[in-house]
Amino acid sequence: MPIAVTRPLSDAIVRCELTHVAREPIDVATARAQHAAYEAALADLGCRIVRLPEAPDLPDAVFVEDTAIVLEEAAIMTHPGAPSRRPECESAAAVLGGYRQLLWIQPPATLDGGDVLVLGRSVLVGLSGRTNAAGVEQLRGIAEPFGYEVSGVEVRGCLHLKSAVTAIADDAVLLNPEWLDAGPFGSRERVEVDPAEPRAANVLRIGDGLLASSTFPRTLERMHQRGLDIHTVEMTELAKAEGAVTCCSIVFDS
């Protein structure tokens, strides 16, 4: 059974980091309800939820994805690009250390988990405002001995690589071509988001199921037409914090 690590959001989320979206008031009660529905959807997709402790002083701590990359062989703890987010890693490590050996990205490298897309043995790493070239190098040094091929991919106009592209099947990715150069997707099929929905490329794949935000009906329709099994959740409040579906969990096989 896959494990999905999550963390409750705190009232501090109203002071979250923002890069590509303008600040709007966040209704924290609604955000909490949406987060609870997100956890329920993960459970429906077969995950066991493991919650990290709430971090009342860390505004972005609900976005656990950025703290670690969990491979079969190890959990790689990141050094997030935003200094305000670095204290999130310790409590994530305390839990992930129960499942995997821990390896750490060290400064001056920076790396956010949202920039790391694992496609089989191929690991694509966004060169973004959060992840630097040294971050890609360190991840390569850690993951290549385990048999992964690590490639840097330039992204622009969005926060992370996974804002621009995620996997929807073993042999297909969903992407926004405005936000990344043609990455090393090999023979994988590239499905584009509807141009009216630039933020729709972030979907979470669990087994053969997909979890997506209900905010993007046109892109969802493209995926329904392909016969994909898609569950949807409302993410309107977390989207105001520049979050999306992958950001709020770390999913791995126990």
147-186 residues in contact with ligand CIR (CB under 6 A) are 159-160
Pick the catalytic residue from 79, 160, 224, 231.
160
Does 237 engage in binding with ligand CIR (CB under 6 A)? no
**Among all residues, whose Cβ is closest to ligand CIR?**
114
60 binds ligand CIR (CB under 6 A): yes
* By CB under 6 A, residue 88 contacts ligand CIR: no
Distance in Å, CB of 16 to ligand CIR, minimum: 4
Q: In the set 4, 16, 68, 193, which binds ligand CIR (CB under 6 A)?
A: 16
Paired tokens of 127: 């060169």
Beta carbon of residue 249, minimum distance to ligand CIR (angstroms, whole number): 10
Nearest to 164 by CA among 189, 147, 181: 181
Residue with tokens 């690009």: 81
**Contact by Cβ (8 Å): 163, 63:** no
Q: Of 193, 187, 222, 223, whose CA–CA distance to 208 is shortest?
A: 223
Among 203, 244, 245, 251, binds ligand CIR (CB under 6 A): 244
For ligand CIR, the binding residues (CB under 6 A) are 16-17, 19, 60, 63, 65-66, 82, 85, 114, 159-160, 241-244, 247
Active site residue ranges: 160, 247
